[in-house]
């Protein structure tokens, strides 16, 4: 059962990071919690687009909305997500351009 849960968590994390807007949202929330209007302005998207991506990230279990009166503040669901993002952003990937061209043609990269 643990392997299934780990696989599912990694798949959700990968899905979230596969979209540049969701990646920017997660990286922004890694620094500090934020309100949707501030977050939309910070990453340069409309509130509607942001709302759709936040719904996806909530569904993946990566962010939570913390009610504050009539507003909601968004933050990472777990501090370990921020540490994982720190680790991932510290990676330096050696990419073989020939391999990537073939992989991109197949929809892999």
**Secondary element (H or E) of residue 65:** strand 63-68
Phi, psi angle pair for 64, to nearest 5°? -130, 150
Going residue by residue through the chain, which has 109 residues, state the pLDDT in tens, using 9 for 90 and above.
455 578 888 888 999 999 999 999 999 999 999 999 999 999 999 999 999 999 999 999 999 999 999 999 999 999 999 999 999 988 877 777 777 666 666 666 5
What is the C-alpha separation between 35 and 57, in angstroms, rounded? Answer: 15
May I ask the CATH class of domain 2-105? mainly alpha
């Amino acid at each position: 059962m643990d392997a299934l849960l780990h696989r599912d968590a990694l798949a959700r994390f990968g899905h979230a990071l596969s979209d540049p807007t969701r990646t920017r949202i997660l990286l922004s929330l890694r620094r500090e919690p934020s309100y949707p209007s501030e977050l939309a302005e910070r990453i340069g998207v409309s509130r509607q687009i942001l709302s759709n991506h936040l719904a996806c990230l909530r569904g993946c279990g990566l962010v939570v909305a913390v009610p504050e009166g009539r507003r909601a503040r968004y933050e990472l669901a777990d501090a370990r997500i921020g540490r994982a993002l720190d680790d991932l952003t510290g990676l330096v990937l050696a990419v073989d351009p020939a391999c990537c061209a073939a992989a991109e043609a197949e929809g892999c990269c």
